[in-house]
Amino acid sequence: MPQQSIVYDAPTPEPRPVTVEAIQNEILGRLIYSVGKDPIVARPHDWLEATILTVRDHVMERWMESSRATWRTSNKRVYYLSLEFLIGRLLRDAMSNVGLMEPVRDALKNLNVDLGDLINMEPDAALGNGGLGRLAACFLESMSTLKIPAYGYGIRYAHGLFRQEMSEGWQVELPEDWLAHGNPWEFERRESAYEIGFGGHVEPVTDPDGTMRQEWRPNDHLLAVAFDTPIAGWRGARVNTLRLWSAQPIDPILLDKFNSGDHIGALEESARAEAITRVLYPADSTAAGQELRLRQEFFFSSASLQDIVRRHLQQYSELTSLPEKVAIQLNDTHPAISIAELMRILVDVNGLDWAQAWKLTKGTFGYTNHTLLPEALESWPVALLERLLPRHMQIIYQINADVLADARNRAKFSDAQIANVSLIDENGGRRVRMGQLAFVGSHSVNGVSALHTELMKQTVFSDLHKLYPERINNKTNGITPRRWLMQCNPGLTKLIGERIGPQFLDDIEALRGLDVHAEDPGFQAQFAAVKLANKQRLTRLIKDRLNITVSPEALFDVQIKRIHEYKRQLLNIIHAVAMYDDIRAHPERDWVPRVKIFAGKAAPGYWNAKLIIKLINDVAKVINNDPAVRGLLKVVFLPNYNVSLAEVIVPGADLSEQISTAGMEASGTGNMKFMANGAITIGTMDGANVEMHREVGPDNIVIFGLSAAEVEEKRAKGEAPRGTIERSPRLKEALDTIASGVFSPDDPNRYRDLIGGLYDHDWFMVARDFDAYAAAQAGVDALWRDKRRWNAMAIRNTAHVGFFSSDRTIRQYAQDIWGVATEAP
């Protein structure tokens, strides 16, 4: 592809006026000339598109200037590679960040259109699953806010993870259709298309100067085509780019097959290419599923690296300055194949020698680890890599040889330690450990909470840490306060501004000014009124979607996150059953009315997680319809959890359930969102809960349960949990009720094995933490009755959330890992 020179001082349009009249005219112009609709007959979706295009026009001017400024100044760029970017709806985010919210609202009002209705119509971009993808989105917005030149690189999934619906309480997976009517935020960049290869063979080639090099000759090719979305920072400080790759065939149709009558076979190449970007996390329980996942990961990694190297050569004409001008951050192990791919590009394509290329690669990459779970630290069969990416397998072998030689000769590692640091796992079938590859190929390896980082050193990367002790560091996760306070909770934002002034909008640490008002009865009443209004909105949503009536005066006890056994939704619903038993047994007691709210998706192949969803719905059906409960306890499961749903649930939560098995949650970011919105956390000392405990103080958080060290100790001893259950009458009664089929009369044995697992091994410490959890929940009831104390705790949670801003996290990445400057908005 020919490289074009960049003109830094090209003319730009004059900034658009931001008046209600001007915005109104722009929306009408877009409606008529871009959407092609007469205002008289325009439907809401037409107004939505016209409004998005109008806002996008205002963002575009800042976007172009941001790009030109980076070329003019030759500033270092950051590239964030992530398989997920859970960006949610963009209209409100963009309007808020570039100061268009009120002018657009008023302009639409003059046109008899309600902005709130349009915002709710915009589809969520189906580009992620949970915390990993939402973190990437927060980070990209913070990089724009702090004026860091950055690109996010990911995949433009046609259908995302899946749309979750319920059928008789069971999760049903349906395809998302967020792109069915196009995406007005994105721009296709036809000039940024790269050929991606798979399979084939490797041949040694002798160059004219006598140099021998390896040349990969794939036998399977497709195109990666770029689609760009602007991501605006707070106050329009900078606009960065989210570049998503779409897979397209080299030849969209094989005409010879089509003309011979094989009309379906003629489209085989198209179907094979497009499958790569159809679905996030295709099930990998089959060999075909594993291959598709690896194809996905290599596809977006290769396209991104080709784009990065192309841009660098276009500006600097050489590659030795790569680490000085480029920082690439790998968001978990999914893009780890990038290490081998950059080596291939440097050595095979650009002719660098191995040692120099390896130095440049390590200097360029950073790796963020997000999990200690073995199944999430990806590994691929050697045979699959040798067949699909034969040159990369050769490179991995050579990297491994160098690492093992270093371990043996310099560090004097034993055979056992050598096996632990090896990139090839020789146990039970040879597999490539992608976490190890990312570790050895990066100059920085960071965890995402203080506890998680220490456990990385002690567990999964213990010997690699001994080999490279300077590499592991901590960068506790954060959230963007723009979306998770200012936008999703405008009532609270307005109240805070009235009480302490607007400084917190630009410096979230200024929220600490609320501390002195935490005991003020007047401010407590205002704070509680905002919370009640948010709960009333959530109450209406529950009624609309589930036809379940709940009281906004009840304690809203919320657990919304991916469904996984270590996150312990099972512990929560068992507690609901115990409460149900208690309320019926002791109707004379003064019970605190409570609504347990669940939301989250289970991986399609994760049976126990799907069974837990079914259990929640079965329990809800019984409890919600039992007159003996008298409405004192309700259980709801809201389907199809996504960013937009979270933006309604989080501001309405009273209690935030962060109850993972200690030592298993890397960080969590949902806990921070609830904290910002004045919910009180009940949780274990796990992930970022540890730092939340430090920031808010032990009197303003409810901690229970085993520590990470105690969990490991119990697992090591192999103690049978049966005795624990027998000694806890409430727990035993609840488990017997579930296992005996009380909640599943149509299938009495449905939960027998699920509950049996708690008796047999209880790997996730549900039974062994139950009594402590129940006692903590009783303490929550006592706090709830003391409204003055509860409100003070809630206010202090909001006041002390500043540390958990993604702006703070990104500043630390910028200073400690990327070596780039940041500016305040």
Catalytic residues: 370, 561-562, 567, 669, 673
Sign of CA dihedral 783, 789, 791, 794: negative
> Given the structure tokens 């993808």, which residue do they identify?
133
The H-or-E segment that residue 514 falls in is: none
Burial class (CB in 10 A: 0-12, 13-18, 19+), 34: middle
CA distance 243 to 227: 6
Nearest 10 degrees: Cα torsion 254, 256, 261, 262: -40
Task: Tell me which residue of 78, 4, 145 sits closest to 325, measured CA to CA.
Answer: 78
Alpha helices in 663-786 (DSSP H): 670-676, 689-696, 708-717, 722-726, 729-739, 752-760, 766-785
CA distance 577 to 571: 10
Per the CB < 8 A criterion, the answer to whether 733 and 578 are in contact is yes
- Cβ neighbors of 597 (< 8 A, separation 6 or more) are 538, 542, 556, 557, 558, 559, 560, 636, 638, 649, 653
Per the CB < 8 A criterion, the answer to whether 23 and 100 are in contact is yes
243 HSE (CA, 13 A, CB side): 23
147 HSE (CA, 13 A, CB side): 14
CA distance 796 to 461: 37
Backbone angles phi, psi at 218, to 5 degrees: -65, 155
Backbone angles phi, psi at 656, to 5 degrees: -105, 115
What are 192's two structure tokens?
């940024």
Task: Tell me which residue of 463, 408, 473 sits closest to 442, measured CA to CA.
Answer: 473
- C-alpha of 99 from chain center: 26
What are 741's two structure tokens?
């089929």
- Cβ neighbors of 766 (< 8 A, separation 6 or more) are 568, 570, 571, 574, 758
Order of strands, sheet of 220-232, starting from the edge strand that comes earlier in the sequence: 187-198, 220-232, 239-249, 150-155, 77-81, 326-331, 365-368, 444-447, 472-474
Burial class (CB in 10 A: 0-12, 13-18, 19+), 358: buried
Backbone angles phi, psi at 314, to 5 degrees: -60, -35
Beta strands in 207-287 (DSSP E): 212-217, 220-232, 239-249
End-to-end Cα spacing for the chain: 37
Q: Reduced to 3 states, what is the DSSP secondary structure of residue 260?
A: coil
Calculate the alpha carbon distances from 764 to 450, 564, 568 in Å: 21, 10, 8
Radius of gyration of the chain (CA): 27
DSSP 73: H
- Cβ neighbors of 591 (< 8 A, separation 6 or more) are 583, 632, 633
CA distance 703 to 773: 9
Per the CB < 8 A criterion, the answer to whether 164 and 603 are in contact is no
Burial class (CB in 10 A: 0-12, 13-18, 19+), 447: buried
What are 23's two structure tokens?
């915005």
Alpha helices in 186-286 (DSSP H): 255-259, 268-275
